[in-house]
Amino acid sequence: MTRRIRLIADDYGLAPGVSAAILDLLDRGRLTGTSCMTGFPEWEAEAERIKPLCGRAAVGLHLTLTDQLTITGRSSLAPEGRLPPLRALALPVLRGRIDERHVHAELDAQYSRFVEALGRRPDFVDGHQHVHFLPVVRTWLRARFPEGADRPALRGGPALAAGSKVAAIAALAAGFNRSMQRAGFIVFQPLAGIYDWRQPEKFTAVLQAAVEGLPEQGLFMCHPGHVDETLRARDTMQAVREVEFAALASDAFGASLARANVAIMDGRG
């Protein structure tokens, strides 16, 4: 039988070149869907471009609490109106130096912009730099999507494996899958696609390992894109996005799927 896996591209809406690359891959059938960053000025225009794909593609919300400008302005979360680096977020939240209400207000604003632009709730929710695993975000998810509501799915944590980066993310995600499933959420798991993006030559091998090893409905995250001036101004993850796009769009990737008898799920499951 054909084994089905999910390929989800992060960062739709981050920059025009990123969004264009993701739309291209969706049109080629090389992605299940994408998660959207809604805090940028271009969001409404990018939402119009992806709206016709809703339903066929899974379109989710990419919660963003690091490195970008806020929607809600200055607060204990962003004293100068800019979200902190990840290393300056997690511990201050846990120690009460960042008011949980300010975090929740920013997430509410990102969610509202998604719904207003697309006229629907997200199919799933994940987090930029995995911030959805933070306790303060887990609390927001339970409050925003109460029991009995039409809830989005959530991106789960990685299976334990060798490598310090996987281990660090697994530690951040400790207890997430089980606790959110108990709360009634569908959790996409296990998560694959984690590697050191400063070594883009590793991507093809990571992708092939996922094709060969992910179980039915397992999830592979990726970051394809085209580099433009907007991306250069907003994010340090740049050239590797072109590498990922080329690999995902390639005939070689299509052939590897066929050899492994693997199909990429669409947004209808």
Percent of the chain with pLDDT over 70: 98
Distance CA 225, CA 14 (A): 10
Residue 269: is its pLDDT beyond 80? no
* Helical (H) or strand (E) element with 231: helix 229-234
* HSE, side-chain direction, 13 A CA sphere, residue 236: 6
* pLDDT grade for 91, boundaries at 50, 70 and 90: confident
* pLDDT grade for 150, boundaries at 50, 70 and 90: confident
Over range 171-187, report the average pLDDT.
94
Percent of the chain with pLDDT over 90: 87
* HSE, side-chain direction, 13 A CA sphere, residue 161: 15
pLDDT digits (tens, 9 = 90+) for 226-260: 999 999 999 999 999 999 999 999 999 999 999 99
What domains can you pick out in the chain, each with its CATH number? 3-264 (3.20.20.370)
* pLDDT grade for 165, boundaries at 50, 70 and 90: confident
Q: Is 269 strand, coil or helix?
A: coil
For residue 209, what pLDDT is reported? 95
